[in-house]
């Protein structure tokens, strides 16, 4: 069954979540492509974790060769379409463009990449045959997020049989379920995965690999296991009232409106945390109809983890920020049993030893009226799963790998993405998956030659 038949999108969602960066039309794309200087030592390519050959794909756009341009992108990054929408280009390729040196606007690399990739999918998303011989060795990828998808695609292109195991019905990890809809639609993520499936990658949906017994079975059936499980549940606030059903963590909130068909939101929403996921949730709450959306953050504005452009976008949409503010309790109305308010206190975060400690400012507590609370204070590691991976070393809940190969302390296991780096960009996960695939292919070829 096609993933796109399972999830067809939602017209109301499309209306409420118009894209933040509309696509370029043909004329604008040509004009922008012709502005590129096609730098020999392209800093934009060096700044891309997957090292897409940016001047080459832009040159092809300027020549009207959109298909060739897309193939150049896909050669480095099989998720080039979703990355064109979700990459923080300001701090990656566009941030490195030489035009900055002349105080000029950088080339719109993200939009040009999207232009080429949209044309590719519109025209059938046909990848050329690689001619790689079918190889006997089989690889299992656990998790169906960007790292596993990139690993699986690269190995399949090299002729290896690959099966991706995922606990959910739809693959894609955060790309499908956890990125704000105005950046990347679930249908766009799924069409990209259909392309990977068309290479011959096998998918096992709704299959949880969580314990030692399941991993032991994979170890017997597969030559190599790639761990691309991402991170676990979102951290909880640890305050009274948190068990109320209208306290919904940010990833669950995004997933339920994006792929779960539940567009319900409070009128007065409080998001706790100031990372990019917190901003995604706050902006989604605005678009779903909340009248007031507040973000609480215990540190100062300059300490927030969200990118500046995400912060600016949220402010433009009316989200209000409260710095040095810590929630201490969620209060319920005795009359209607819904959430009535969140009690907060001002805090000072001060250095303490190697770290920091938080001090409450005396007599600073106040209440904010709200009927929905969205905690967005990061994800916990998948400790239970990592304990089940016998022989795979992890530290502070993250898998330890050789950075050049992605290999773990157990020679049969490789890993990449958020479960290794603690939660970075989609493009970092793709780079990890591809790097591991190249090392896996090499190790399997050596093993085959020695037989």
Residues that bind ligand SF4 (CB under 6 A): 36-39, 42-44, 54-55, 97-99, 107, 109
CA 377, distance to chain mean position in Å, is 16
Cβ closest to ligand SF4, residue 38 vs residue 366:
38
Residues 44-60: b if buried by 16+ CB within 10 A, e if exposed = bbebbbbebbbbbbbbb
Distance CA 290, CA 275 (A): 20
Cβ closest to ligand SF4, residue 99 vs residue 323:
99
- Whether the CA torsion 8, 12, 13, 14 is positive or negative: it is positive
Distance CA 126, CA 290 (A): 42
Cβ closest to ligand SF4, residue 42 vs residue 440:
42
Closest CA to 57 of 232, 44, 47, 204: 44
Distance CA 401, CA 151 (A): 15
CB 438 within 8 A of CB 154: yes
Give Cβ neighbours of residue 126 (< 8 Å, ≥ 6 apart): none
User: Whole-number minimum distance, CB 112 to ligand SF4, in Å?
Assistant: 9
CB 37 within 8 A of CB 98: yes
Q: How far is the CA of 157 from the CAs of 82, 117, 168, 189, in angstroms?
A: 20, 19, 25, 20
Query: Environment class of residue 343 by beta-carbon count within 10 Å: exposed (0-12), middle (13-18) or buried (19+)?
Result: middle
User: Whole-number minimum distance, CB 183 to ligand SF4, in Å?
Assistant: 22
Closest CA to 169 of 144, 142, 197, 152: 144
CA atoms within 13 A on the CB side of 320: 11
Distance CA 238, CA 327 (A): 10
Cross-sheet strand order for the sheet of 372-375: 320-322, 292-296, 268-272, 372-375
Cβ closest to ligand SF4, residue 98 vs residue 263:
98
User: Whole-number minimum distance, CB 74 to ligand SF4, in Å?
Assistant: 19
Cβ closest to ligand SF4, residue 44 vs residue 429:
44
Number of H helices, E strands in the chain: 19, 15
Rg (CA), the chain: 23
Cβ closest to ligand SF4, residue 43 vs residue 338:
43
User: Whole-number minimum distance, CB 66 to ligand SF4, in Å?
Assistant: 17
User: Whole-number minimum distance, CB 70 to ligand SF4, in Å?
Assistant: 17
Cβ closest to ligand SF4, residue 55 vs residue 145:
55
Cβ closest to ligand SF4, residue 54 vs residue 439:
54
Distance CA 248, CA 281 (A): 10
User: Whole-number minimum distance, CB 100 to ligand SF4, in Å?
Assistant: 9
User: Whole-number minimum distance, CB 40 to ligand SF4, in Å?
Assistant: 9
User: Whole-number minimum distance, CB 76 to ligand SF4, in Å?
Assistant: 14
- Whether the CA torsion 165, 166, 167, 171 is positive or negative: it is negative
If you count them, how many residues does the chain have? 451
User: Whole-number minimum distance, CB 279 to ligand SF4, in Å?
Assistant: 27
User: Whole-number minimum distance, CB 36 to ligand SF4, in Å?
Assistant: 4
User: Whole-number minimum distance, CB 98 to ligand SF4, in Å?
Assistant: 4
SS3 410: coil
């Amino acid at each position: 069954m096609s993933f796109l038949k399972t999830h067809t999108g939602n017209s109301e969602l499309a209306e409420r979540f118009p894209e933040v960066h509309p696509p370029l039309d043909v004329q604008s794309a040509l004009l922008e492509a012709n502005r590129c200087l096609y730098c020999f030592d392209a800093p934009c390519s060096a700044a891309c974790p997957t090292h897409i050959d940016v001047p080459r794909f832009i040159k092809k756009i300027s020549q009207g060769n959109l298909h060739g341009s897309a193939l150049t992108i896909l050669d480095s990054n099989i998720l080039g379409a979703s990355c064109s929408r979700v990459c923080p280009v300001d701090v990656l390729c566009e941030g490195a463009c030489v035009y900055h040196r002349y105080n000029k606007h950088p080339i719109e690399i993200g939009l040009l990449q999207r232009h080429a990739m949209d044309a590719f999918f519109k025209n059938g998303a046909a990848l050329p045959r690689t001619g790689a011989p079918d190889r006997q060795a089989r690889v299992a990828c656990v998790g169906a997020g960007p790292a596993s998808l990139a690993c699986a695609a690269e190995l399949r292109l090299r002729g290896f049989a690959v099966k991706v195991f995922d606990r959910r019905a739809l693959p894609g990890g955060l790309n499908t379920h956890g990125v704000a809809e105005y950046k990347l639609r679930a249908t766009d993520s799924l069409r990209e995965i259909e392309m990977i499936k068309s290479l011959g990658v096998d998918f096992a949906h709704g299959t949880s690999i969580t314990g030692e017994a399941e991993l032991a079975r994979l170890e017997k059936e597969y030559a190599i296991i790639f761990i691309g499980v991402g991170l676990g549940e979102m951290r909880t606030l640890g305050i009274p009232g948190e068990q109320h059903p209208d306290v919904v963590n940010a990833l669950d909130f995004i997933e339920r409106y994006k792929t779960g068909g539940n567009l319900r939101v409070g009128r007065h929403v409080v998001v706790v945390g100031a990372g990019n996921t917190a901003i995604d949730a706050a902006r989604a709450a605005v678009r779903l109809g909340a009248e007031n959306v507040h973000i609480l953050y215990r540190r100062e504005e300059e300490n927030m983890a969200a990118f500046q452009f995400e912060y600016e976008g949220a402010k433009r949409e009316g989200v209000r920020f409260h710095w040095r503010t810590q929630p201490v309790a969620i209060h319920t109305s005795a009359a209607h049993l819904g959430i009535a308010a969140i009690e907060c206190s001002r805090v000072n975060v001060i250095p303490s030893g190697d770290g920091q400690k938080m001090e409450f400012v005396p007599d600073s507590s106040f209440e904010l009226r709200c009927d929905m609370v969205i905690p967005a204070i990061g994800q916990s590691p998948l400790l239970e799963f990592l304990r089940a991976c016998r022989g795979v070393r992890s530290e502070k809940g993250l898998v330890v790998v050789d950075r050049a190969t992605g290999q773990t302390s157990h020679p049969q296991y490789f890993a990449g993405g958020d479960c290794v780096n603690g939660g970075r960009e989609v493009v970092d996960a793709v780079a990890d998956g591809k790097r591991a695939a190249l090392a896996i292919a090499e190790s399997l070829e050596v093993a085959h030659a020695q037989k």
